[in-house]
């Protein structure tokens, strides 16, 4: 196996150890019929590896079908994958073959596998284990001989814990794992990719090739590239078209890079923080819990004041207490309890409202979701693709929520 020949054939740029290892595994597993799960961040080029596996397998003369699971609405995905019978549902005017039937004898690549609904995951597991499937609206069992390769940028073990992905399907797909490293972990490849893209765009637009000076190269390599290879390619194209001077300085390059990603170190999140922001619903939950905690702390401070105690506070509590009782521009170091300066009613005459219950009643998760979805659709003039991107969810999830909440737009 000559890795350099494979790179030339599939136009893969880079010499990092992780990239070379991923290519080696793809070629080694190709002659078998084992399922492969490719994981990596969005924009890392995961779609190239299923093609390598297919072309170096005995199925190379069969069909290769790539399916983006995240772009298919939940209500039609079973029909797309497994086909349907005439009259199976409204609009099913004729029999239709699904992708698994079309790809019989070949390879099917399921991108964004983490977006599959649980019911579809059960059907897929049956195909992987027995090669059998049933069309929507039919009772006849059909057979298919398909090699399944899947890819995802979702952390599947976390999705399993949250009940969003079947554990048995994960282990059936993950027979051979291939991990594609993000671009920030391949610094030696970044300038190589830039030069390749610069040459391609120079040829495409019939103009001289842009080059970077030494400081610009250092900036290019130190940038985090959250969008990975896709982002690097887009920025290279922008510079190639817009800049008249073909030698690019660091100052010019900096204008094309978002200002908040110049740190070369990866962002550090605790496990709790990472899971808390998995989707928009959990963000709202976290806000509610934080508000409940703050109100509980505030109630405790009030009770301490009524008992004539000097409250002991730290961190966020100190800031909140300071805003309530400290005069502006003064030092927060009272020598005697603040309660001495406040008229205190007897405890039995004071009615304390349950602020926690009030918050829960006044903040509806579904109402907030509807409000966010409507704002996103309005901002993007009804274009669901861009609205889903801004909301941080897939088109399929947005389609489901619009249908669930009966949102117009």
* Angle formed by the axes of helices 365-379 and 395-405, nearest 10°: 120
Q: What is the C-alpha separation between 27 and 49, in angstroms, rounded?
A: 9
Q: What is the C-alpha separation between 84 and 328, in angstroms, rounded?
A: 70
Q: Which residue has the tokens 């649980």?
A: 118
Q: List the domain range (segments joined by +) for residue 369.
A: 365-405
**Residues 39 and 136 occupy one common structural domain:** yes
**Residues 117 and 54 occupy one common structural domain:** yes
Q: What is the C-alpha separation between 103 and 147, in angstroms, rounded?
A: 9
* pLDDT, tens only, 347-391: 444 454 444 444 444 456 777 788 888 888 888 888 888 888 888
pTM score, whole prediction: 0.64
CA 322 to centroid of chain Cα atoms: 39
**Residues 130 and 209 occupy one common structural domain:** no
**Residues 164 and 75 occupy one common structural domain:** yes
β-bridge partners, 66: 109
When pLDDT is cut at 50, 70 and 90, the band that residue 277 belongs to is very low
364 Cβ contact list (under 8 Å, min separation 6): none
146 Cβ contact list (under 8 Å, min separation 6): 100, 103, 104, 105, 106, 107, 108, 127, 131
Kindly report the average pLDDT of the chain as a whole number: 83
pLDDT of 294 strictly over 50: yes
**Residues 23 and 153 occupy one common structural domain:** yes
Nearest to 133 by CA among 70, 199, 187, 85: 85
Phi (first) and psi of residue 126, to 5 degrees = -65, -40
Total domains present in the chain:
4
Query: Which tokens in the block code for residue 114?
Result: 């983490």
171 versus 342: which is more confidently predicted? Answer: 171
CATH (domain of 26): 3.40.50.300
Residue 51 lies in a domain: yes
**For 352, which DSSP code?**
P
Q: What is the C-alpha separation between 260 and 43, in angstroms, rounded?
A: 19
CATH (domain of 232): 1.10.8.60
Query: Of 146, 181, 216, at which residue does a domain stop?
Result: 181
Query: Quick one: which H or E segment has residue 152?
Result: strand 147-152
When pLDDT is cut at 50, 70 and 90, the band that residue 342 belongs to is very low
CATH (domain of 381): 1.10.10
Phi (first) and psi of residue 383, to 5 degrees = -80, 110
Residue 272 lies in a domain: no
Cβ-based neighbour number of residue 64 at 10 Å: 19
Burial of 396 (0-12, 13-18, 19+ CB in 10 A): buried
Cβ-based neighbour number of residue 87 at 10 Å: 12
Residue 334 lies in a domain: no
**Residues 225 and 105 occupy one common structural domain:** no
- How would you classify the pairing of strands 211-212 and 247-248? parallel
* pLDDT, tens only, 33-75: 999 999 999 999 999 999 999 999 999 999 999 999 999 998 8
**Residues 63 and 27 occupy one common structural domain:** yes
* pLDDT, tens only, 130-141: 999 999 999 999
Write the DSSP string, 313-345: --HHHHHHHHHHHSPTT--S--SS-GGGGS---
pLDDT of 268 strictly over 50: no
When pLDDT is cut at 50, 70 and 90, the band that residue 310 belongs to is low
Residue 335 lies in a domain: no
Query: Which tokens in the block code for residue 218?
Result: 């250092």
Residue 338 lies in a domain: no
Q: What's the CA dihedral at 105, 107, 112, 114 to 10 degrees? A: 50
């Amino acid at each position: 196996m000559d890795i350099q020949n494979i790179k030339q054939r599939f136009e893969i740029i880079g010499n990092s150890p992780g990239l070379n290892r991923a290519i080696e595994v793809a070629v080694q597993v190709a002659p078998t019929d084992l399922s492969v799960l490719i994981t990596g961040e969005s924009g890392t080029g995961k779609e190239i590896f299923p093609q390598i596996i297919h072309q170096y397998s005995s199925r190379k003369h069969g069909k290769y079908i790539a399916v983006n699971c995240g772009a298919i609405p939940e209500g039609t995905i079973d029909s797309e994958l497994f086909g349907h019978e005439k009259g199976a549902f409204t609009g099913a005017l004729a029999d239709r073959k699904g992708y698994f039937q079309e790809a019989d004898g070949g390879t099917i690549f399921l991108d964004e596998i983490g977006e599959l609904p649980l019911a579809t995951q059960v059907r897929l597991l049956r195909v992987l284990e027995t090669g059998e499937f049933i069309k929507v609206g039919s009772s006849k069992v059909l057979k298919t001989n398909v090699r399944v390769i899947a890819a995802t940028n979702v952390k599947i073990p976390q999705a399993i814990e949250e009940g969003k992905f079947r554990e048995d399907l994960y282990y059936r797909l993950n027979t051979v794992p291939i991990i594609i490293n993000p671009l920030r972990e391949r610094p030696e490849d970044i300038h190589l990719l830039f030069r390749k893209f610069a040459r391609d765009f120079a040829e495409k637009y019939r103009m001289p090739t842009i080059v970077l000076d030494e400081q610009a190269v250092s900036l290019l390599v130190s940038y985090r590239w959250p969008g990975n290879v896709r982002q690097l390619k887009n920025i290279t194209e922008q510079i190639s078209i817009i800049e008249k001077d073909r030698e690019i300085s660091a100052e010019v390059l900096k204008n094309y890079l978002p200002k908040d990603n110049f740190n070369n170190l990866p962002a550090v999140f605790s496990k709790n923080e990472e899971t808390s922001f998995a989707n928009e619903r959990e963000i709202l939950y976290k806000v509610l819990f934080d508000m409940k905690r703050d109100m509980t702390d505030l109630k405790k401070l009030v009770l301490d004041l009524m008992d004539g105690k000097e409250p002991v506070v730290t961190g966020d509590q100190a800031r909140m207490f300071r805003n309530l009782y400290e005069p502006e521009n003064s030092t927060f170091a009272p020598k005697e309890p603040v309660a001495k300066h406040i008229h205190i009613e007897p405890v039995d005459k004071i009615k304390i409202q349950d602020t926690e219950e009030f918050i829960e009643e006044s903040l509806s998760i579904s109402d907030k979701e509807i409000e966010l979805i409507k704002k996103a659709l309005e901002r993007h003039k009804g274009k669901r693709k861009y609205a889903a991107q801004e909301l941080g969810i897939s088109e399929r999830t947005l389609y489901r929520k619009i249908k669930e909440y009966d949102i117009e737009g």
